[in-house]
Structure 1
Amino acid sequence: MDRKEFLSAIGVTAASFALINCVGCAKGGEASSVSVNGPTGIDFTLDLTTTANAALLTNGGYLATNGIIVARTTVGAYIAVQQSCTHQSYNLVYQANSQRFYCNNHGATFSEAGAVTASPAPRSLTTYTTVLTGTSLRVHS
């Protein structure tokens, strides 16, 4: 066997091995679990007098912006967490009556403080600081 045949044979063998490993790891065609981090370097301000941010004027309201969910709890506190589930990066929704963030894809839930309350999420949500000054709500890391 010459050098060209040897390298060709190794390439086919390596590709076959990689394919077998990829197929063996898949769970029913579902992508494998990954730990998704929230955005970093966050610092923006929402004007609560604008129509686009009107959901935050009501207890239990929320909106998604800049990869972040900003919500107003049922007791009127402002909270902010990453918008994507830490399991597979699907968008979360805020369920004020249940005081949680919920992933419609696999059912993961998180407390208002971002802690995992139901799997398959591998870790808590990234949380952000909120500061209300008059009608301006600052969200930052």
Structure 2
Amino acid sequence: MERREFLSNMGITLAIVCTGGLAACGGKGDDPTPDPPGNPPGNPPGNNAKLTVDLATQLTAVGSSIISGGVVLIRLAASNVPASFSAVTSTCTHMGCTLSGVNGGIIECGSSCGHGSKFNSDGSVNMGPATAALTKYTVEISGNTLTVK
């Protein structure tokens, strides 16, 4: 094989590898319907609750949050009524990774994806590259027990 033929073949091979790598980099893209989370630990089978919280011991301060069972749950106000809480999916709509935390009421997609999308507490996009909002869940309260469905 001559040098010219070898370099030509290497160039074609490199172009194919790079093109495949770029296609893989896109991930899931902006998927407005992320995969539903599984049954969280401690949630009996058949119970359609995504997350259950004891408000006597958890989320006692306004601004506190929990990420568990596929849910980001944030306390927005002091009273124990459903409107005082926001519950959204913990799966980023841009690349499908798990959201990393809540900072100042802003839900962040951190280092696991590395793209830096941010969402408001209601699930709407605060900063891209994500363009689709997070799925909202229903909050129900009975006594001190909050249930996300």
TM class, shorter-length = 0.5 to 0.7
Change in CA separation of 1:39 and 1:30 when aligned onto 2, cut-off 3 Å:
same
2:26 aligned partner: 32
CA-based RMSD of the aligned residues comes to 3.1
Residues in 1 aligned to 2:34 and 2:85: alpha-carbon distance in whole angstroms: 21
- Which is helix-richer, 1 or 2? 1
Asked whether the equivalents of residues 63 and 71 of structure 1 are also in contact (C-alpha less than 8 Å), the reply is: yes
Asked whether the equivalents of residues 38 and 83 of structure 1 are also in contact (C-alpha less than 8 Å), the reply is: no
1:71 aligned partner: 74
Could you tell me how far 1:50 is from its partner in structure 2?
A: 7.2
Unaligned runs of 5+ in 2: 1-11, 39-47, 79-83
Residues in 2 aligned to 1:49 and 1:114: alpha-carbon distance in whole angstroms: 22
Residues in 2 aligned to 1:46 and 1:81: alpha-carbon distance in whole angstroms: 14
Unaligned runs of 5+ in 1: 1-15
Change in CA separation of 1:33 and 1:64 when aligned onto 2, cut-off 3 Å:
same
- Which is strand-richer, 1 or 2? 1
Change in CA separation of 1:121 and 1:89 when aligned onto 2, cut-off 3 Å:
same
Change in CA separation of 1:59 and 1:38 when aligned onto 2, cut-off 3 Å:
farther
Residues in 1 aligned to 2:144 and 2:85: alpha-carbon distance in whole angstroms: 12
1:94 aligned partner: 102
Q: Give the number of aligned pairs.
A: 116
- CA-to-partner distance for each residue in 1:54-108, whole Å, 9 max, x for gaps? 2x122111112211111212x341111111211112222122x2x2211112110
Asked whether the equivalents of residues 123 and 135 of structure 2 are also in contact (C-alpha less than 8 Å), the reply is: yes
Which residue among 118, 128, 132 is the counterpart of 2:141?
Answer: 132
Q: Structure 1-normalised TM-score? A: 0.66
Partner of 2:72: helix, strand, or coil? strand
What pairs up with 1:38-117 in 2 under 5 angstroms?
Answer: 38-39=35-36, 42-44=48-50, 46-48=52-54, 54=58, 56-73=59-76, 75-76=77-78, 77-92=84-99, 93-95=101-103, 97=104, 99-104=105-110, 105-117=114-126
Q: Which amino acid aligns with 1:60?
A: G
